[in-house]
Amino acid sequence: MKNVKDFDKKEAIFQAMLELISKHGFHSSPMSEVAKQADVAAGTIYHYFKSKDELICALYVRLKEKYIENLFLTDDQNKPFKERFRHFYLQMIIEAQKNPKEFYFLEQFSNSPFISTIPKAEITRLDQPVYDFLRKAVFTQILRDIPPKILVAFVMGSANAIIKLQLSGEFQMTSSDLELAFFTCWDGIKKI
Amino acid sequence: MKNVKDFDKKEAIFQAMLELISKHGFHSSPMSEVAKQADVAAGTIYHYFKSKDELICALYVRLKEKYIENLFLTDDQNKPFKERFRHFYLQMIIEAQKNPKEFYFLEQFSNSPFISTIPKAEITRLDQPVYDFLRKAVFTQILRDIPPKILVAFVMGSANAIIKLQLSGEFQMTSSDLELAFFTCWDGIKKI
Amino acid sequence: MKNVKDFDKKEAIFQAMLELISKHGFHSSPMSEVAKQADVAAGTIYHYFKSKDELICALYVRLKEKYIENLFLTDDQNKPFKERFRHFYLQMIIEAQKNPKEFYFLEQFSNSPFISTIPKAEITRLDQPVYDFLRKAVFTQILRDIPPKILVAFVMGSANAIIKLQLSGEFQMTSSDLELAFFTCWDGIKKI
Amino acid sequence: MKNVKDFDKKEAIFQAMLELISKHGFHSSPMSEVAKQADVAAGTIYHYFKSKDELICALYVRLKEKYIENLFLTDDQNKPFKERFRHFYLQMIIEAQKNPKEFYFLEQFSNSPFISTIPKAEITRLDQPVYDFLRKAVFTQILRDIPPKILVAFVMGSANAIIKLQLSGEFQMTSSDLELAFFTCWDGIKKI
DNA sequence: TATGAATGAGCGTTCATTCAT
DNA sequence: TATGAATGAACGCTCATTCAT
C-alpha cells in the first residue's frame, strides 16, 4: 500500500511539473501550482525531492531515459540497417507527436542552463543507446565515417527541428513528407 | 548627443541582458542585475522597454536578425550553389562560435514558451533570407524537391546541434570535421 | 486551533490596515507596514487576501456591516418612532465617537474611487436596515413623503458631517448640542 | 506673453491633476501622467509647485474657494432669507452637477488625511461666506439657535450627500425632488 | 508520511523628484 | 523658463522552502 501510494504521489508530482513546464516554462511553474495539480500538499513534494531544481533534473533524466528507450522498443535487429534506421528516425517523430509535453520539456531543458547541471557522464549514459546504434553502423561501413558524436548530433538535431516544425502546427506534414525527411537524413549519413 | 546616449544605454541594457540570460537563464537574470551590469538605474530600463518580457523579445528579434544577416554577408552569388551552401553552412558554425552568448540566447529563447509570443509573421520575416536562399535552389533543381520549410528545419536543426556539440566543449571539432559535417548535410539535400 | 489562529491573523491584518489607512490614507499604508503592525510576514497577508485592493474592500464591507448593525442593536421597536429615530441618530454619533478609526476609514473609502468597485447590490444590501427603518415610517405617515433614498442620504449625510465636526476637535459638542442636532434633523423629516 | 504662458501652464497642470484625481484617486494619478495630460514636461510641474502634495493642496484651496464663491454669485440680498437660502441650497446641487470633477475632488480631499495638512485658519477662511450667511440668519432669529458650526455642517453635509446620490446615477432626481430636499433642510433649521 | 499555513528574501515595476542641457 | 532622461527608494506581490502539527 505504502509503495503504491509513494509511487502514485511521486508520479503525480512528476506529471504535474511536466504539464506546467511544458506549457509555461520553468518560471511560471510555481511549486504551489505543481502541488495543486498533483493533488498533494506543497510540503509533500519536499519529501520526494530536495528542491525544485532537483525535481526538474530528476524529471529530465526520467523522461530522456524513457524517450530513448521507446525509440528502440520496436527495433528489429534482424532487419537491414537502413530499414532499422528508417524505423528509428520515424519513431523519433512519432514518439514526439504522441508525447508533445515530454518533447517540449526535454528541448526546453537541454537548451537551458539546467543542462549543465547534469553530469556529463549521466548525459553520455542517456545517449548511449543511440550512440551505440549509430557507431556500430559506422564500424560496419554502412554509414559514413563521421565521429559518432557528430553523427548523433546531426541525426537528432535534424529530427528535432522537423518535430518542432510539425508540433508548431505551422506545417502539416504528410507521411510522404516524413519519408522525404528520412531520405534526406539517410542520404547524408550513408556510406557512398 | 541625445542619440548617442540613447544608443549607449539601450545597447548596454541589451548587452547586459544577453550576458545574463545566456549564462543564467531567463529567471535567474533579475532586472536589478541587468541594471547593475548595464550601469544604469533599474528604472531606466523601463524608459526603453515596457517590461522584462518585452526587453527579452526585442533582444531576440534583434539578435536573430543580425545572426541571419551575418550568414549572407560574405555570400558570393556568382559562385556555384554548392560552394555558396558550403559557405553558408560553415558560416553558421563560425558565427555561433564567435558569438556563443548570442547563440545560447537564441536557442534558449526559441525552445521556451517565449517563442510563441512572437507573431508568426515576424518569425517568417526573420527566416526569410534562409528560406529564399534554399527555395531558389530547389526551384532550379539543385536541391532535392523537399518542402522548403522542412528543408530549412533540416539544415538549421542539424547545424545547431553540431554547434551545441562544439560549444559544449565535449568534442574538439577540427576543420576536417566541419567539412565532413557540411558534406553530410549536402549529400542529404542535394538533388540526386 | 486552526480556526483560532486563522481568526487571529486575519483579524490582526484587518486591524492593522484599518489603523494605518484611517491615519495615513490608502497610499501611505504599504503592505509591508501592515504586515509589521499585524505581526505577520508580508506574504501571509496574501494567504487571506488576493491583493491590497481586495483587503481594503473586504475591510470596508466588514466595517460597514458592523457599523449599521450596531445602530439597531439597542433599537426598541415598541417605542414611538420619534424616540426610536432619536436613538438611532444619536447612536450614529456615539458609535463614530467610540470608533473614530472605523468612521474615518468608511468615509475615506466611500469618497474615493474605491467605492465604485463595490457592486451596487452589495451597497444596497449594506444600507438595507436603515433604508427599511425610514421607509416604514414614511409609509405610516410619520415621516414626510420623500423618496427613501433621498431621506437616507439626508439623514446620514447630515449626521456624518456633524460627526466629522466633532471628531476634528474643532468644536466641543455638548449633549444639548446633540439634542439640538437631532431636532434639526427630525423637524426636517417629520410629517407636518 | 510670459504671464499668459505661465497662466496657461499652471492652469493646464491644475486641470490635468483635477481630471486624474477625480477619476482615479490620489494614487493612480502619477505626475508623469499629469505632465502628459497637461502637455508639459514632468520637470516643468516643479517650477510651479514644490511637490505633488503641494500641488494637490493648492488645487484644493483653489477649487474650494471658487466653489463657495459661485454659491453666492447670484445671491440677492434684498430677497427674504428663506428665498435666499433656497437659492443657496439648490445652487450647491446645481454647481456640483455642472462640475462633478470638482465636487468629487473636494469630497475626496476633505475625507482624506490630506485635509489635516491644511491649516485650520485656512479652512475657516474658505468656509467664512457660508458661515456668515447662516450666522446672520441665526442672529436675526430666522434660523433656529444652533451653534453656527453645527448649522453649516448640517446644511452642507446633507446637501453633499444628496449630490452624491444624484451624481452616482443611482437615483434620477426631479426638480420636485430638489424642492422637497430644500424643504426638508429648511424645516429643520428654521426658527419654529 | 503528509499537511498547508507561514515565512521573508527577492522579484518586476512604479513614480516623485532631480538636473544637465 | 522648460525639458525629459535618469534616478533609486519603495512599492505590491510571488514563491521556494520550512516546520509545527
DSSP states of A67-113 as a string?
Answer: HHHHHHTT--TTS-HHHHHHHHHHHHHHHHHH-HHHHHHHHHHHTSG
Which DSSP category does C80 fall into? -
Residue A77 three-state SS: coil
Instruction: Tell me which chain C residue has its CA closest to the CA of residue D162.
Output: C153
Calpha distance D121→B105 (Å, rounded): 65
A154 to B27: CB separation less than 8 angstroms, yes or no:
no
Query: What's the Å distance between residue B61 CA and nucleotide F10 C1'?
Result: 33
The single-letter code of the amino acid at A133 is: F
Q: What confidence category does residue B26 fall into, taking pLDDT thresholds of 50, 70 and 90?
A: very high
Average pLDDT over residues D50-59: 97
Q: What totals of helices (H) and strands (E) does chain C contain, helices first?
A: 9, 0
Distance from CA of D188 to the nearest CA of C (A): 4
CB-based contacts of A24, cutoff 8 Å, min separation 6: B113
> Domains of chain C by range and CATH?
1-49 (1.10.10.60), 60-189 (1.10.357.10)
Nucleotides of E under 7 A from a protein CB: 1-21
Q: What confidence category does residue D6 fall into, taking pLDDT thresholds of 50, 70 and 90?
A: low
Grid look-up 530513448 returns: A68
DSSP β-bridge partners for residue C143? C190
Query: Count of alpha carbons within 13 Å of C83, Cβ hemisphere only?
Result: 7
Per-residue confidence (pLDDT) for residue A2, from 0 to 100: 45
B188 to A188: CB separation less than 8 angstroms, yes or no:
yes
Q: What is the separation, in whole angstroms, between the first and last Cα of chain D?
A: 59
CB pairs under 8 A between C and D: 127
Instruction: Tell me which chain D residue has its CA closest to the CA of residue C163.
Output: D153
| The C-alpha cell that represents D15 in the structure block | 486641470
Grid look-up 446615477 returns: D169
Q: How far is CA C2 from CA C6, C7, C9, in A?
A: 6, 8, 11
Q: What confidence category does residue B23 fall into, taking pLDDT thresholds of 50, 70 and 90?
A: very high
| D37-50 pLDDT per residue, tens | 999 999 999 999 99
Q: Which of D110, D163, D183, D184 to mutate to test the interface with C (most CBs of C within 10 A)?
A: D184
Which DSSP category does D48 fall into? H
Distance from CA of C132 to the nearest CA of D (A): 17
Residue C134 three-state SS: helix
Per-residue confidence (pLDDT) for residue C170, from 0 to 100: 86
Whether residue C139 contacts residue C80, with contact meaning beta carbons closer than 8 Å, is answered with: no
| D144-164 pLDDT per residue, tens | 999 999 999 999 999 999 999
DSSP β-bridge partners for residue A190? A143
Per-residue confidence (pLDDT) for residue D170, from 0 to 100: 87
Query: What's the Å distance between residue C2 CA and nucleotide E3 C1'?
Result: 13
F14: residue with closest CA to C1' = C43
Calpha distance C97→D153 (Å, rounded): 16
What is the largest distance, in Å, between two alpha-carbon atoms of chain C?
59
Q: Cβ atoms within 10 A of the Cβ of D189, count?
A: 22
Task: Show the DSSP H helices in B141-192 as ranges.
Answer: 148-167, 175-189
Grid look-up 431621506 returns: C151
Q: A171 exposed, middle or buried (CB, 10 Å; 0-12, 13-18, 19+)?
A: middle
Please give the mean pLDDT across all residues of chain A. Answer: 94
Distance from CA of D48 to the nearest CA of C (A): 24
Calpha distance A48→A11 (Å, rounded): 10
Calpha distance D153→A95 (Å, rounded): 79
pLDDT at position A163 over 70: yes
Instruction: Tell me which chain B residue has its CA closest to the CA of residue A166.
Output: B150
Per-residue confidence (pLDDT) for residue C192, from 0 to 100: 83
Q: By a Cβ cutoff of 8 Å, what residues of chain B touch chain A?
A: 23-28, 107-108, 111-114, 120, 144, 146-147, 149-150, 153-154, 156-162, 164-165, 170-171, 173, 177, 180-181, 184-189, 192
pTM of the model: 0.92
| The C-alpha cell that represents C81 in the structure block | 418612532
Contacts of B159 in chain A (CB under 8 A): 157
